[in-house]
Structures are given as C-alpha cells and as structure tokens.
Structure 1
C-alpha cells in the first residue's frame, strides 16, 4: 500500500496548453512558468505539459514572437489540465472545427480553463452554460451580453466545477498558484510565488481592477479610492468636487494627491481613463461609436470624437478603419 501511494504521488500532472495566434506572451508565461517553477521546487517533474496550436504550426503572439508547439490540437486527447489561451481576432483563428474539438476534449480532462479570450471559446462551445465565469475587465459587459446564460462576475479568476476562467495575465498567475496549492499544497504555492518575487497572492474573488495600483493602495489609500471611484463611474463621470465629497476629502487635497503622485490633475486622469476604455472598444470591437461615447461618459458623439482625436491624433472612425486594415494585412501575410 505504501509503495502504491508513493507511485501515485510521483505521477506527473498532465497538462495540455492550447495557444491561439495573437495571444499575449505574458498569459502564456503565466501558465507555463508556474508549472516549471513547481517542478524546480519539488526537485522532480510534478507537471508535464504539451503546447498545441489549432493547426500544429508555430503561433505568432501579439509581440511578434513565434512560439513553437508540440503538435496540433486534435482528437483523441486527455489529461489532468486543459488550458486554452486566446487573444485577438478569435473568429479568424478558431472556427467550428476548433470548438467541436474543444467540446469533445473537455470531457477527458479534470480541469478546463479559458484564459483571456479563451473564456470566449469556452462560452461559444457551450461548456460554461449555467455556470459562473469571468473575462478580462475590458470585455466583461460584452461577454455578459454575448452569453446571457452565464453568471458573469468581475473576479480575477473563477472556478465553477471543473471549468475555470481567468481575466488576464496576472490573474492567470494567481490561478496557477491556486492550482499548485490544490495539487501540491499551500507551501509549494508560496515557494513558487517566491521564485518570482510575487508577494501578494490574490484569491479568486478579488475584483479585477481597471488600473493596477501596485503600492499606491497601501501608501496612498485616498488616491487609490479616488481612482477606484473613477473606474466605477466611467459611464456617468462626476465632477472633481463631487468626487471629493464622495471621498470625504477636500477638492484641494484631491488635486494635490494627483499632482504629487501622478503629475496630473484629477480631471485629466479621469478623462484619460475614459478614453483608454473607449480606445479599446474602438480598436477591438464593432460597437457603434455613439454607444462607445455613451458607455465612456460622453454626452455626444462630437464631444467624444474631439476628445479622442486630441488623445490619439486620429478620429475614432479612422482608428477603427486603420486597425481593421492592419488585421487584414496580417491575415494575408500569415497565408503566404
């Protein structure tokens, strides 16, 4: 019996990582490096993984680096962990055949995770129906609208049964630490976090922030609270005076905090935050410009266009057209 238990303990956790073109290298690293580090900490192969792509060819990531893979994502396939990493232009990289393969393969894994846009693939495949799930904070509203049968929440990562979803690279790192803690124990997870000098392990229910505040949250809690309030009120922005009242500090103090720490004014930072969200929607969605303007707190399309042009030196329509043209050119290059 003791020998059998030892044999079970020594067996490696089998992981399959599926990565699609135009994914983030940080999301890929957040999956692979915690497993590598767990092997290092354990002094043996506790994780064994294969890297697959939809067609078995090297995958170009958003940074331009091609990632070699071990093979094609195809049947039959099984193991302990199935982790699907997606990025931009999913409809171009994952069609009905990919979704059918995902549906069938999911039956043969103990855990199935959608990472960044990989959560959309789990949603489209029907694997998340009736479950809780999350997506990147920029896409939460669109994700909820696309899959009304899901309970979409803004947590860093979500585990509902064997199906997991993660909203970005940093939450994915947290998710992998959580997997390591479940499989190998909390001490191993802490050892892995320490290798990367990662000193704040988040729980899955921590809310995804629009802005990563780092040490500001502990050092300047009033500034952090102001930014979080701005995040929550993008659609109906408040005046600086109203922000100060809500935060129970003087307007002068609020202005001093932003000037001292961020070298800008509260109003300018608020506007920049709204425009950053708008910029993502302009480039990466087909949402009408008028709806983007309203969603980001602009009373009229003309006011939105003026502010956007000042920030990005192009109108929203021109920016969307240029981005689509670049996507078409990239697709053509990939077929050569």
Structure 2
C-alpha cells in the first residue's frame, strides 16, 4: 500500500479519460480513509504535457523515472497514430520484460500495438478510432468493449469509460461497496462492466424509435464496405421501397441513398485522418465504385478533396490521381 499506477501522458492526450481514472482512485482513498492508490505522472521527456483541451499538466519525471513501477498506463488522444518515438517503444518492451502491467487509455492502444505489446491479447479502443485501428492491425483481437483486462494488459476506450475501468478495479481489489460509494460521489448511476456498449443506442443517437427504420440503419452501419441495395434493405425490413423512402424523409429529412452515402463518407474521413491507407484503399473500404466518384462525393460533402483532407502536396487544385481516374475500382451493388 498504496498501489502505484503510473500514467504516461502523451501530447494532446484526452483530459477526461485521464481525470476519470485518477478521480476514481482519489475518491477511493478519501472514502476508505487511507491511501489505497497513488498516481505518479510521467511524460516522454519529463516536461509538462498539454492536453487536447490546451491545459498543461506538470509531471513527476520522464520514462526512465517510471521504470521502477509495476503498473503503467499510456494516455493519448488526437493524432496518436502520427507519434513516432523509438524511446517509447524501447521503454515499453523493457517494461514488458520486467513483468509490468501495461495499459493504454483512449487512443493509446495504437502505441502498444506499434510496439508489439498487444499480440495475442484482447484489446479495445475508442469507437471513433476502431475502424482505422482494425485496418492498421488486422491480426489483433480488437473488441468494441468499454475496456479489456487481459492478463498483464489493460486497454480502455477513454472518455468516462476510464471511470468504469477503475471502478471495476476498485471493486475487485477492495470490494463492491467501496466502488459503489465512489460511483455515488460522482453521480454515476451505475458501474458499467466491460460489455456495455461504447456508443449510445441508435434510438438515443438519432432521436428515432421506429423499429423498422432503426433495423435498416443498423444494417447500413454494418455494411459500409459493400453497401446493400435499397430494395434488399426494404425487403428485409418488411417494407416497400416507397415506404422506406417515406420513413427516411419523415424522420431523418433525407433519402435512404443520401443517408447511406453520408455514413460512408464519415467513415472515409476517419480512415483518411487515422490511418496511412491510400486514398484509393479508403474508397474501396467505404464501398465506392470508382476513385473519381469517391473524390467528387467527398468534396461535395466536406468541401475539400480527400488529398487535401490529409494536407498532401498538390492538393490545392484537382486530385490528379483520383478525379481523372474513371476506371471502376470494384463493382459494388449498393447505393453509391
């Protein structure tokens, strides 16, 4: 006692993901009347770190200073996949050889995966990064759980899921009663377990409760790479295509084709920003029949081309390789 859980804060880390974990431990100490946990803070170079919200946090030391700990968690946020730091990779492998428990919160599973620290382990990541992470590391066992604890690895989707991760840890180590008291202090109405959904339910997200419409949208979200024809979506929902059109117009103020296209374009944007996939591969992964069609749809919706989204050189005018390429990438029987 106390158990020390070190946090390595990376540039532009998620403040809520970090604070949610720390505050759970702080409150556990307070309610227990003794120090059950401590949370020393570290950065790559020992200098203060600025979170994605612009708040700067001082730390206790650099990576070398954290080497004596038995449990450490990386915390990151925006653009973590762009971070290249050989010291961090070497340090993670050294910590693993020492038998440390290694954790990653929010988008930090990217860093464990890059260092080979998630091979053979179940892991999770924030839902917004899930598609890109799966594309980058297709051989990993990635789930969409709130958090995963697999032997000496723990990963967490971030946000307030960090609170639930620590509440479950507190319950396992010091009893459910203490964990419930901590949750009550934060007006957290229940302690979610790892199998709770990361995202709000479709009815809550869309403000729609029509069961047939929701079933169609669920099928759309699960079939972005190979879009389903409108006739099939309607048939499987027990609707005519005309009824399907009316439902989308009434509740979502757009046609089914338009709604499906927007889903695919939003997925494409995440892949462009979070992975190193080529623009053509992104188009394929989001169900577009040609590169030129993808580029045109993307520019019409977001006001910039896919190449400009990434800030690639030569993107101020036309996307030469996309907008002049009329050869279909793949024949997809969807509403592209």
- Identify whether the pair has TM-score above 0.5, normalized to the shorter chain: yes
User: Which has the higher mean CA deviation after the structures are superposed, 239-248 or 123-132?
Assistant: 239-248
Residues 149 and 92 of structure 1: CA distance in aligned 2, closer, same or farther (over 3 Å): closer
Q: Which residue of the partner structure matches residue 321 of structure 2?
A: none
Residue correspondence of structure 1 range 76-155 to structure 2 within 5 A: 77-79=67-69, 81-90=71-80, 93=83, 95-106=85-96, 111-140=101-130, 142-144=132-134, 146-147=136-137, 150-155=140-145
Equivalent pairs counted in the alignment come to 313
Residues 283 and 144 of structure 1: CA distance in aligned 2, closer, same or farther (over 3 Å): closer
Contact residue 203 and residue 214 of structure 2 kept, 8 A? no
Structure whose residues are more often helix by fraction: 1
Residues 141 and 53 of structure 1: CA distance in aligned 2, closer, same or farther (over 3 Å): same
Residues 250 and 281 of structure 1: CA distance in aligned 2, closer, same or farther (over 3 Å): same
Q: Which residue of the partner structure matches residue 291 of structure 1?
A: 281
Alignment root-mean-square deviation, CA: 3.3
Deviation at 1:161, TM superposition (A): 0.4
Residue correspondence of structure 1 range 30-109 to structure 2 within 5 A: 30-75=20-65, 77-79=67-69, 81-90=71-80, 93=83, 95-106=85-96
Instruction: State the alpha-carbon separation in 1 of the partners of residues 23 and 253 from structure 2.
Output: 36
Q: Which residue of the partner structure matches residue 220 of structure 1?
A: 209
1:315 to 301, 305, 308: 305
Q: Which residue of the partner structure matches residue 167 of structure 2?
A: 177
TM-score of the aligned structures, taking structure 1 as reference length: 0.78
Q: Which residue of the partner structure matches residue 282 of structure 1?
A: 272
Instruction: State the alpha-carbon separation in 2 of the partners of residues 258 and 42 from structure 1.
Output: 53
Q: What CA deviation, in whole Å up to 9, does each residue of 1:40-81 have, x standing for no partner?
A: 443443321112111111112222222222222214634453
Contact residue 20 and residue 93 of structure 1 kept, 8 A? no
SS of the residue aligned with 2:5? Answer: strand
1:17 to 3, 7, 27: 7
Q: Which residue of the partner structure matches residue 198 of structure 1?
A: 188
Contact residue 235 and residue 295 of structure 1 kept, 8 A? yes
Can you give the 5+ residue segments of structure 2 that lack an aligned partner in the other structure?
316-336
Deviation at 1:185, TM superposition (A): 2.0
SS of the residue aligned with 1:133? Answer: strand
Contact residue 130 and residue 149 of structure 1 kept, 8 A? no
Instruction: State the alpha-carbon separation in 2 of the partners of residues 199 and 253 from structure 1.
Output: 40
Q: Which residue of the partner structure matches residue 291 of structure 2?
A: 301
Contact residue 81 and residue 109 of structure 1 kept, 8 A? no
Instruction: State the alpha-carbon separation in 2 of the partners of residues 251 and 43 from structure 1.
Output: 64
Contact residue 145 and residue 197 of structure 2 kept, 8 A? yes
Instruction: State the alpha-carbon separation in 2 of the partners of residues 77 and 48 from structure 1.
Output: 16
Instruction: State the alpha-carbon separation in 1 of the partners of residues 164 and 54 from structure 2.
Output: 26
Q: What CA deviation, in whole Å up to 9, does each residue of 1:188-217 have, x standing for no partner?
A: 3333333333335433234555x6647469
SS of the residue aligned with 1:169? Answer: coil
Q: What CA deviation, in whole Å up to 9, does each residue of 1:220-239 have, x standing for no partner?
A: 27254443322211112224
TM-score of the aligned structures, taking structure 2 as reference length: 0.78
Deviation at 1:160, TM superposition (A): 1.2
User: Which has the higher mean CA deviation after the structures are superposed, 289-298 or 112-121?
Assistant: 112-121
Instruction: State the alpha-carbon separation in 2 of the partners of residues 286 and 50 from structure 1.
Output: 34
Instruction: State the alpha-carbon separation in 1 of the partners of residues 2 and 85 from structure 2.
Output: 32
Instruction: State the alpha-carbon separation in 2 of the partners of residues 257 and 193 from structure 1.
Output: 41
Larger relative CO (CA 8 A, sep 6+): 1 or 2? 2
Deviation at 1:246, TM superposition (A): 2.7
